[in-house]
């Protein structure tokens, strides 16, 4: 199957994921702390997906094996990943963060090879090297990071695709066989919201959902629905087109993220951004089109 046949879902999924950093940046700029943004988005997304599960009569299992999977995936793939990204987005351009998104599948392949789940061939190694070189170039003066003083926040943002890759590896290792991906997503996001809620209580930053500035609450509510919609499209793509075609969302999300950063914040990225993006895209292409 070709990517063109599934282009509407590719564009929708990649467009939403590209918009997510800008929406989080808007909510944080509206006075909501990053941890609270991550909590409310996780809660909104999980409730949206549970509603879809109810409509489709998909049961969400709660046995010990599924709970372990939800907990580990929610912690790595959402709670820690979004805590790092939202904290960093208060200090870095949304366009720069978008360049980091394709690192997740690249690092997943690298981690799978390190754990013995896959063999690292020349394409995997070369793709990983190109992707990392692209991110390093994006941090150089004249590229996507305008102020060298923000390098620390940029490195914190790099932990986001690391967390996503860890979540992918955890899914391979701990996901119970024969489960519904939609149920996995709903349970994972609910556990992520619970973990973030506990952390908010422990740090004294708890706020009830929809109790802050209405603009920020509206953004987070919309982000939760959009995030749930992206999950639905993602699972449809996986089932209908397979992982290689679905991986093309990485290109769309990056380009959309850069475009949203320009449109919403007037970000002006340096000329080195484009060769950096080309390196990242080349790395993603090599990794996701390799022979298995």
The domain limits of the chain are 14-288
Token pair in block for residue 275: 């060769």
Q: What is residue 33's three-state secondary structure?
A: coil
In angstroms, the CA 78 to CA 176 distance is: 19
- Return the number of other C-beta atoms located less than 10 Å from residue 33's C-beta: 18
Residue for token pair 């599948």: 105
pLDDT tens per residue, range 17-54: 889 889 989 988 888 888 888 888 889 999 999 999 99
Query: pLDDT digit string (tens) for 181-190?
Result: 888 889 989 9
Angstrom distance (rounded) from CA 157 to CA 144 = 13
Q: What is the mean pLDDT of the chain?
A: 84
pTM over 0.85: no
Q: Using the 8-state DSSP alphabet, how is residue 270 labeled?
A: -
Is 88 a residue whose pLDDT tops 90?
yes
- pLDDT band, very low/low/confident/very high, at 1 (cuts 50, 70, 90): very low
């Amino acid at each position: 199957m070709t990517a063109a046949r599934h282009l509407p879902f590719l564009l929708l999924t990649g467009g939403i994921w590209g918009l997510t950093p800008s929406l989080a940046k808007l909510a944080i700029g509206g006075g909501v702390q990053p941890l609270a943004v991550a909590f409310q988005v996780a809660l909104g997304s999980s409730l949206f997906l549970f509603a879809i599960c109810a409509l489709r009569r998909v049961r969400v299992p709660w046995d010990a094996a599924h709970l372990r999977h939800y907990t580990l995936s929610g912690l790595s793939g959402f709670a820690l990943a979004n805590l790092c990204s939202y904290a960093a987005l208060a200090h870095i351009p949304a366009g720069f963060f978008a360049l980091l998104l394709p690192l997740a599948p690249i690092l997943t392949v690298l981690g799978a090879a390190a754990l013995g789940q896959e063999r690292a061939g020349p394409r995997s190694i070369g793709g990983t090297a190109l992707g990392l070189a692209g991110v390093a170039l994006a941090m150089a003066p004249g590229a996507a990071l305008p102020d060298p003083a923000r390098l620390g926040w940029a490195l914190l943002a790099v932990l986001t695709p690391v967390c996503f890759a860890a979540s992918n590896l955890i899914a391979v290792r701990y996901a119970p066989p024969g489960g519904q991906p939609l149920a996995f997503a709903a349970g994972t996001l609910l556990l992520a919201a619970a973990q973030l809620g506990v952390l908010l209580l422990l740090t004294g930053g708890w706020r009830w959902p929809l109790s802050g500035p209405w603009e920020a609450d509206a953004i987070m509510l919309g982000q939760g629905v959009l995030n749930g919609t992206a999950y639905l499209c993602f699972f449809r793509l996986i089932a209908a087109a397979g992982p290689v075609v679905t991986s093309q969302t990485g290109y769309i999300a990056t380009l959309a993220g850069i475009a949203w950063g320009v449109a919403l914040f007037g970000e002006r990225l340096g000329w080195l951004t484009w060769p950096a993006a080309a390196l990242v895209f080349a790395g993603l292409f090599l990794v996701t089109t390799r022979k298995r």
